Amino acid sequence: MQELFFQFVYLILIVLALVMVANRLRLAYPIVLVLGGLALSFTGLFTNLTINPEIVFLIFLPPLLYEAAWQVSWKEFWKWRRIIASFAFPIVIITSCIVAVVSQALIPGFTLALGFLLGGIVSPPDAISATTVMRQVKVPKVLVSVIEGESLLNDASSLIVFRFALAAVLTGQFVFSQAATSFFLVIVLGTVIGVALGFVFYTIHRWLPTTPSIDVALTLVTPYSMYYAAEHFHYSGVLAVVSGGLLLSSKRNTMLTYRSRIESVNVWTVLSFIFNGFIFLLIGLQLPSITQQLGNITLGRAIGYGLLISLVLIVTRLLCAFGAALFTRFASRFITVADANPGWKLPIITGWAGMRGVVSLAAALSIPLLTPQGQSFPYRDLILFITFVVILVTLVFQGLTLPWLIRKLNLDDKYTTIPEERQELLIQKKLAQLALRYLEENHGPDTAQNDYLHNLRMRLQLDERFLVQQLEEGGHTREEALQHFQHSYLKLLNQQRDLLHNMNHRADFDEEVIRKYLALLDLEEYKVREKLPQEVALQ
């Protein structure tokens, strides 16, 4: 046990090192982690480490889904709800059907039920890989919103397909009417359970005397409660976490204090980073054990099956993306849609961003070794190997070429009516104007007598004049002056830190007070660096 624990510690250190390499190479870290795990698997250092599907589904998946739901903009999710729903449900089902037909025709002895099982496993794309790539390249935010929104739902739909296909293989029976009814019950009641528990946790956060530490602990418990409750009644735990997470995310400002929000963001950022990095590294480490389990099927033939299924998945998603765009244009004649003419560039990028990941491998690993009759589960090892090849091909090939494709197509951001820089200036101006009106209406006479209020009003007036001038000039004429100011201010903050550290050496200053002001300087630096270009901010 002690040796196993230290191996996990070493793996986390390897994850951190590989992520730093990915940042230096400007690559999406899931790609580097999978390739690093693959290279590490040939060393034989971590041969006793395997992915337990129960650990993935019960420990890793709920918090990762919950954190993703908190990151998604509900406004953008609702705006693009039709295209997100089309990618999450119809496209997953279409992909599963095509993979089922192709795999039955391609692999000798492969039944249609096994084909649907394989289709349910490999149909859900992994959003973490795609969005990590997209954040390194300038793309319209609609792309990130659609990919993130899709990821919240396609895992659920694919796992439901997987569940019914597995039952058909084990029992040898499949009644479409019963399966369709159960499909909708699993979706609807899973969502209901998630929303209901969401309101329960909202009530706890909102009305009970919680502290920031209690609030953070509750956010860690929430996704597991939603997932386990739904799965206990055999409904979709994934949809329970997603629906409950979206509900609580929309109410974060009313149920959490400012300190709880700041501390929870810090905790969840680190937690999701470690979980994602660890899982992607373990995916690469699985190659030797998966290869050894192929049995009578040669390695070359198994690789061929995996490459062909990967090609089918890539082509199918591209065709479905264009089909969704054409359907949107047709539907715009009868209903109001977010974009009546998506064009051809958006479907290409959305279709190419279909990398597979951890959910696919965990689903494949969860296939039982034996059937209820005590026989070996048919083609289990081949399904597992094909899944690994699909993950490797889509993650590496599509992940490495996606930035090039985005730059080559040079997609115009016709969805953003106001540039982001101008949005920030307008928001700051309106906030300053509101603050000045509030001071004048509620504390007008006090500002002449209260030095603090007087200084506040003077600062707000100065900010308002500066912002108005920036807006009138277009916000671009002073970029060099702004960068010079930011660099100078960052050096000033470092000087202030040095002063605080020197003061901390004196016996008459409390270290907790010093740390408080060091934290304030960190927040100030964060605000400044957020306005710098990414290349400069990373220095």
Instruction: Give the pLDDT confidence of 223-235 residue by residue, as tens digits.
Output: 999 999 998 998 8
Give the DSSP H or E segment for 248. helix 237-250
297: its two tokens? 């099927």
Q: Is 69 helix (H, G, I), strand (E, B) or coil?
A: helix
User: How far is the C-alpha of 304 from the C-alpha of 296, rounded, in Å?
Assistant: 15
Return the closest-CA partner of residue 378 out of 162, 111, 175: 111
Instruction: Calculate the alpha carbon distances from 329 to 83, 335, 367 in Å.
Output: 12, 10, 41
339: its two tokens? 């974009």
516: its two tokens? 């408080």
Return the closest-CA partner of residue 77 out of 326, 269, 246: 246
User: How far is the C-alpha of 238 from the C-alpha of 231, rounded, in Å?
Assistant: 9
334: its two tokens? 């009868």
Q: What is the pLDDT of residue 539?
A: 47
User: How far is the C-alpha of 200 from the C-alpha of 188, rounded, in Å?
Assistant: 19
Cβ contact 397:129 at 8 Å: no
Q: Give the fold, CATH level 3, of 2-409.
A: Na+/H+ antiporter like fold (1.20.1530)
User: How far is the C-alpha of 357 from the C-alpha of 106, rounded, in Å?
Assistant: 24
186: its two tokens? 């699993």
User: How far is the C-alpha of 11 from the C-alpha of 17, rounded, in Å?
Assistant: 10
Q: What is the pLDDT of residue 173?
A: 65
- What does each of the 539 residues of the chain score in pLDDT, given as a tens digit? 677 778 888 889 999 999 999 888 888 888 888 889 888 888 877 766 666 666 777 888 889 889 888 888 777 788 777 778 777 778 888 999 999 999 999 998 888 889 989 998 998 887 677 777 776 777 777 777 788 788 777 877 787 888 888 888 877 666 666 666 777 888 889 999 999 999 999 999 999 999 999 999 999 999 999 999 998 998 888 889 989 998 998 888 889 988 898 889 889 989 988 988 888 888 788 777 777 777 778 888 889 999 999 999 999 999 988 888 887 777 777 776 666 777 788 888 888 888 888 788 778 878 887 777 778 888 888 898 899 899 889 988 888 888 888 888 887 766 666 777 777 778 888 888 888 888 888 888 877 788 888 888 888 888 888 778 777 766 455 566 777 778 888 899 899 999 999 988 888 888 888 888 888 888 888 878 776 554 444 44
Cβ contact 60:358 at 8 Å: yes
Name the percent of the chain in helix, strand, coil, to the closest 5. Answer: 80, 0, 20
182 Cβ contact partners less than 8 Å away, ≥ 6 residues apart: 164
Q: What is the pLDDT of residue 532?
A: 55
Q: What is the pLDDT of residue 218?
A: 95
Q: What is the pLDDT of residue 534?
A: 46
Q: In the block, which residue shows the tokens 């997603």?
A: 242
99: phi then psi, degrees, rounded to nearest 5: -60, -35
User: How far is the C-alpha of 487 from the C-alpha of 111, rounded, in Å?
Assistant: 65
- The total of other beta-carbon atoms located within 10 Å of residue 487's CB is 14
Cβ contact 235:186 at 8 Å: yes
User: How far is the C-alpha of 358 from the C-alpha of 56, rounded, in Å?
Assistant: 8
Cβ contact 325:27 at 8 Å: no
% of the chain beyond a pLDDT of 90: 18
Instruction: Give the pLDDT confidence of 68-81 residue by residue, as tens digits.
Output: 888 887 777 887 77
- The total of other beta-carbon atoms located within 10 Å of residue 51's CB is 19
User: How far is the C-alpha of 37 from the C-alpha of 11, rounded, in Å?
Assistant: 10
- The total of other beta-carbon atoms located within 10 Å of residue 504's CB is 14
- The total of other beta-carbon atoms located within 10 Å of residue 56's CB is 21
Q: What is the pLDDT of residue 174?
A: 61
Q: How far apart are the first and last CA of the chain?
A: 41
CB half-sphere exposure, 270, CA atoms < 13 A: 7
Instruction: Give the pLDDT confidence of 317-355 residue by residue, as tens digits.
Output: 999 888 888 877 777 777 766 667 777 888 888 888 888
pTM of the model: 0.81
Q: What is the pLDDT of residue 312?
A: 94
Q: In the block, which residue shows the tokens 């400012």?
A: 258
529 Cβ contact partners less than 8 Å away, ≥ 6 residues apart: 486, 490, 537
Farthest-apart Cα atoms in the chain, separation: 90
Return the closest-CA partner of residue 428 out of 362, 527, 310: 527
User: How far is the C-alpha of 395 from the C-alpha of 354, rounded, in Å?
Assistant: 8
